[in-house]
Amino acid sequence: MPTHIKDIGIEIKLYFVTNCPPVKQLFTFLLILLLFLVGVGRDLYAQKQGQLLIDSLRQELAKQKEDSNKVTLLTILSMSYHYIDPDSGIKYGTQGLELAKRLDWKPGIAWTMLRIGNSYTVKSDYPAALDYLLNALKIQKEIHDKTSLEENNSGIGYVYRDQGDYQKALEYDFNALKIAEETNDKANIPHLIDAIGSVYKYSSNYPKALEYYLRSLKMTEDLGITADLSIINGDICEVYTHLKNYTLAIKYGRLSLKTTAYSDDYSKAWAFLDLGRAYLAIATDTPAGSNRTHILHGAIDTLLRALEISKQVHSIRTMRICYETIAEAYKLGGDYKKSLEFADISRGIKDSVFSKQNNDKIARIGIEDEYKRKRITDSIATMKTERTTALKLQRQKGYTYAGLSAVLLLLGFSFFIAKERRKAETLLLNILPRQVADELKSNGVTKARHFDNVTVLFTDFVNFTQAAETMSPPALIDELNTCFKAFDEIIGKYDIEKIKTIGDAYLAVCGLPVASTAHAANMIKAAIEMNAFMQGRLAKLGDKTFEIRIGIHSGSVVAGIVGVKKFAYDIWGDTVNTAARMQQNSAAGKINISETTYELVKDKFTCEYRGEVEAKNKGMLKMYFVS
């Protein structure tokens, strides 16, 4: 649920109850209250209005003395950034916490811990979130701060719900509801009931979830809390979708969309998402045909709208679910290429949203886990084969003693075996970098490794499809082989590793497995030679060859071997995805590089700034053509 202005009202209410300011501080505090009232017109999550309040608070912060007023300001700032920028929320919360500790002011310590914990929840860093929230809970109980206890119990319940511990989630959510009822917090009771309904929904207890959602909806309507109507109607839509009562699912989905006029863009994204998922469920249960196609188009359009708004409000969780659901929709419609694209983005979305530190963490943990999983799967199959072979050898044990004649025969074959071994080693080095091949020969396995500074190149032939239609298959393959062979020779001069070809695309990386400070410059040099080769060939052969489009990006990747049989050395990470986007947004005969690569080579090559270009699933990216 989005943070509303009323939550800042709670902070001000708490301040008066626990720390009534002396006269000399009253003017400053009244100014804080005035700044709060300026923002009442809209939810903080609506960034234009929220930013006005944030800017005012930051200006006032610079004037503050090191007292409890400043703690309150820092707490409000932390909450203001909660969804917009959780890292800033943590920063201001931490400043407030350090000051509250120096003042030995327990209410301030509890408030700031609560805000920091909530910001970590938004970042999905649940261990850190629980650490702060549970420590805040101890202080809140000690000072009998029931208002904060209610909010904190609800926040802890949310964390446990997202981790799948539904029993603990219900325990804390019911604690929050009990406190709200004891303190007669009527405005927040429907929200807490809705949260309990969500726990039942996520644990697949849909009848119980519906019971709580409908109860929450009635109370919300009775109290006239219009801002929460969209979220609750959307929750009911989702439950009816699971129950396959599509008539009511669509009814409440449309009500959710209609009532977004009273709420914020975050709620609007969820309204489109819930309705889109309802349409997708209907399409799934509809026999193949024109009717299903029509429903499916409606589902995809609705889901894409949800994704668009999610991007605008930077809601990581909503974006991930949107990409995941759109992938399912395209798969149902038979568009497997788009389905894979959206599924990949869903899995790797944190790479493009989180900070570089989190990117590296995800690359090391998430991608390496995938690498290990694939390797283990293939290894199990190999072990089964080896076991079968061992049993056969055991049965043939009696035939293995061939005496001296067999030994002499083996000596005769030794020269032949050594020769074939050299051939095998040459072939292995043609597939893998030498360092990786040596590790594989020594240990039988290799480890995936993270490389912080590399440059990735993608090439693509612009008119390949048209050329393929006019050229015979042998001529087409021969031309591809000629071009890729030339590329192989070019990258060999610049310590660049070829990763693979994908149809008419060519993928290479510089800076691994041996690090290089010149990785970006070397890749640009190779790209220039590749482009020159293709331009010369185009002038000579015309429509019997292809026009090339090149894209380059620098960053971090994880590299390793997947599989045991027919294994391949491959690279993963957002850097690869961005390099592909550079290639897709390049032009025939052009080398398109990212801002990151440009910063590394701007003193060595002449580059033309193209401005910001819309890159699929990446937003606006600064791009440059290498002249």
Size of the chain, expressed as the number of residues it contains: 627
Residue 81 resides in a domain: no
Q: Are residues 453 and 349 in the same domain?
A: no
| Residue 493: domain span | 449-626
Count: domains in the chain: 2
Q: Are residues 348 and 471 in the same domain?
A: no
Domain boundary among 353, 386, 401: 353
Task: Report pLDDT digits (tens) over 388-427.
Answer: 444 455 545 444 444 444 444 444 444 444 455 555 555 5
Whole-number pLDDT of residue 54: 63
Residue 585 resides in a domain: yes
Residue 69 resides in a domain: no
Indicate which CATH number applies to the domain containing 538. Answer: 3.30.70.1230
Residue 382 resides in a domain: no
Residue 146 resides in a domain: no
Q: Are residues 338 and 468 in the same domain?
A: no
Q: What is the average per-residue pLDDT within 577-587? A: 92
DSSP string, 232-301: HHHHHHHHHHHTT-HHHHHHHHHHHHHGGGGS-HHHHHHHHHHHHHHHHHHHHTSPSSHHHHHHHHHHHH
Q: Are residues 458 and 341 in the same domain?
A: no
Of 294, 368, 283, 371, the residue nearest 329 (C-alpha): 283
Task: Report pLDDT digits (tens) over 26-36.
Answer: 434 444 444 34
Task: Report pLDDT digits (tens) over 142-179.
Answer: 988 887 888 889 999 988 988 888 999 999 999 999 99
Q: Which residue has the higher pLDDT, 449 or 371?
A: 449
Task: Report pLDDT digits (tens) over 600-615.
Answer: 999 999 999 999 998 8
Does position 444 have pLDDT exceeding 60, yes or no? no
Task: Report pLDDT digits (tens) over 231-265.
Answer: 899 999 999 999 999 999 999 999 988 887 655 67
Domain boundary among 353, 374, 399: 353
pTM (two decimals): 0.49
Residue 589 resides in a domain: yes
Whole-number pLDDT of residue 187: 82
Q: Are residues 453 and 598 in the same domain?
A: yes
Residue 280 resides in a domain: yes
pLDDT confidence tier of residue 433, bands split at 50, 70 and 90: low
Whole-number pLDDT of residue 462: 86
Does position 41 have pLDDT exceeding 90, yes or no? no
Q: Are residues 491 and 614 in the same domain?
A: yes
Indicate which CATH number applies to the domain containing 334. Answer: 1.25.40.10
Q: Which residue has the higher pLDDT, 238 or 474?
A: 238
Whole-number pLDDT of residue 42: 32
Could you tell me how far CA 212 lies from the centroid of its own chain? Answer: 32
Task: Report pLDDT digits (tens) over 42-75.
Answer: 333 333 344 556 666 677 777 777 888 888 888 8
Domain boundary among 353, 386, 403: 353
Q: Which residue has the higher pLDDT, 76 or 327?
A: 327
DSSP 555: E
Whole-angstrom distance, CA of residue 10 vs CA of residue 5: 9
Contacting residues for 249 by C-beta, under 8 A, at least 6 apart? 237, 238, 240, 241, 278, 281
Residue 51 resides in a domain: no
